[in-house]
Amino acid sequence: MRDEERLDLELHRRLQEGDREAFDELYRRYSGAAFGLAYRITKQEALAQEVVHDAFLAAWRAPEAFDPARGTFRTFFLSLVHHRAVDTVRREERLRKRTERVANLEPERGEDVAEDVVESTYLVQRRKEVREALETLPPEQRKVLEMAYFGGYTQTRIAEELGIPVGTVKTRTLAAMRKLRRALSREDEAG
């Protein structure tokens, strides 16, 4: 076993005991290589820094994840960075695609104009059904839904505005959503 590997094992042993200096030394030893690897995968400095931060935090929180019988600490840690960087790239790609879909920047393949007309008609009808279903709710339940969904208020802010406990806001919201679901499913069955 090389001196570097022996030092890593000793630092890891101390890390398991919660030794902050051991953590700092491991950071000095591997932060450069970890950042380089993360940057090559993510191609963004901020994302690479986030990946390295998360990897070191994981090593601090769960040092027992490293098993010396399976390889060196360097291999373990850089593998951890690699996996986190790949996951980050995948997450960013999913977010980018979702944002493009929401912004409708991505045209649908084989788009049919008739489908747009049908969808538009359906949405007009569905909005009408939702408004009618909202009118059937008790006023206190309707108020919390309107504040949350149309006003963008958090449950805490609704509670403050109405002068009621947050638990009451949650209860009213849940009851209102259940009633709306039942009312709208009856509409679907009737239609």
Indicate the CATH number for domain 3-102. Answer: 1.10.1740.10
DSSP label at 67?
-
CATH class of 115-190: mainly alpha
The domain ranges of the chain are 3-102, 115-190
* 93: Cα within 13 Å, side-chain hemisphere: 9
The reply to whether 3-102 and 115-190 are identical in fold is no
> How do residues 156-178 score in pLDDT, each as one tens digit?
889 999 999 989 999 999 998 89
Terminal Cα distance for the chain, rounded: 74
Whole-number pLDDT of residue 96: 85
> How do residues 39-52 score in pLDDT, each as one tens digit?
999 999 999 999 99
**Alpha helices (runs of H) in the chain, residue ranges in sequence order:** 3-16, 20-42, 45-61, 73-102, 113-135, 139-145, 155-162, 166-190
Q: Using 50, 70 and 90 to split pLDDT, how confident is the model at 116?
A: low
